[in-house]
Amino acid sequence: MSAPSPAAGSETGRDLSALIVAIAQRSDREAFALLFRHFAPRVKSFLVRSGIATNAAEELAQETLLTVWRKASYFDPTRAAASTWIFTIARNLSIDLKRRERYGDTTPSNGREEDVDEMSGETVLMMAERETRVRAALAKLSEEQATIVRLSFFQEKPHAQIAQELGIPLGTAKSRVRLALSRLRALLEDLK
């Protein structure tokens, strides 16, 4: 009797790592299919347990495995197990999704134009209107407050880096961010 293949559900860490190496070295589609069958349901389940909606979790699971395909050459089996590497990719993608949802990011996650085409006209119109309103509200802030908001949220710089760039104490940078956001929230109160 022969040893079970990875498709039979008896994958070992070494087998899974070998699949990623085969993808990196030879763009091995069969190895990718085996890896996909093994990890897609597990990654989806992991994402659902972390609070992601089922359909979004399914999309993120697919995006995770596409990232594995594209970045297989970055995998180092001496540094991490295949599962650790793949679940780290999934976790990072879920964090990105939660950030986009939290801050109302209107740009597609990977910059592809076809993502925008899939939206309804009403959704696109509402997003454009929201963006226009946010820009108008930013214009009503003082230059100092607008700069703080841009550095903190659009450039995603930490408060310590903002303080250093503006030559102000860290506590001052934090309070300015808080005050600018409070003012912006007041200007956009009815936007929710």
What is the domain range of residue 69? 6-105
pLDDT tens digits, residue range 132-166? 787 788 888 888 888 888 888 777 788 888 889 88
Mean pLDDT is lowest, of 59-73, 111-125, 143-157, 178-192, for 111-125
Longest Cα–Cα distance of the chain, Å, equals 76
**CB distance 16 to 36 below 8 Å:** no
Note whether residue 86 is domain-resident: yes
**29 to 22, 69, 81, 95, 129: CA distances (angstroms):** 9, 9, 20, 28, 44
CATH number at residue 143: 1.10.10.10
What's the structural domain count of the chain?
A: 2
Same domain membership, residue 119 and residue 59: no
Out of 105, 131, 155, pick the residue that ends a domain.
105
The enclosing domain of 91 has a CATH number of: 1.10.1740.10
Domain end position, chosen among 79, 105, 131: 105
Q: Which of 64, 82, 105 is where one domain is finished?
A: 105
Say if pTM beats, i.e. exceeds, 0.75. no
Structural domain contains residue 74 = yes
